[in-house]
Copies of this chain bind each other. A is one copy, B any other.
């Protein structure tokens, strides 16, 4: 999504001074009311930032994915976690196939403005395409991996072609 494609009357940016840890309001682009947008630093990661999805109630880390600017805008606008699929090179509304969407409850921004934590409500109880509740379902134990996660669904039944 190019800037020109965004609805003019719903779009303005809060510029952030990257040199300080405090936000600094500079003149806004755009004219309208509507939602405002925190500007993140997508440059360091060549257009992508890592995003940690965390269960908003239990604090469990569910997955890590990436966002480009378009994903970020769409996530804020829709309230549903929307990532950028590096393998498919496409916008990825989490759960669009499985139904296991993530409703965003809070967004935390890191000190460098280049990483996010999304506190989410995970629909369907599982974030991982393998059917486990969290993608981090294995623990390193004495040089091997031990499965500690809980399997919520059978991926063969969910991802049918």
Contact = CB atoms under 8 A, between A and B. Distances in A.
Contact of A36 (B59, B117, B136, B142): B142
A3 to B, nearest CB: 16
A108 B86 CA distance: 22
Interface string A127-145: 0111010011111101111
Interface of A: 14, 16, 21, 23, 35-38, 44, 50, 52, 54, 58-61, 63-64, 76, 86, 106-112, 115, 117, 128-130, 132, 135-140, 142-145, 148
Given A14-B143, A64-B115, A115-B135, 5 more contacts: A36-B143, A38-B143, A52-B64, A108-B138, A111-B137
20 contacts: A14-B144, A35-B143, A38-B143, A38-B145, A50-B64, A52-B61, A59-B59, A61-B108, A61-B117, A64-B110, A76-B140, A107-B139, A107-B140, A108-B148, A111-B129, A111-B135, A111-B137, A112-B135, A115-B135, A115-B136
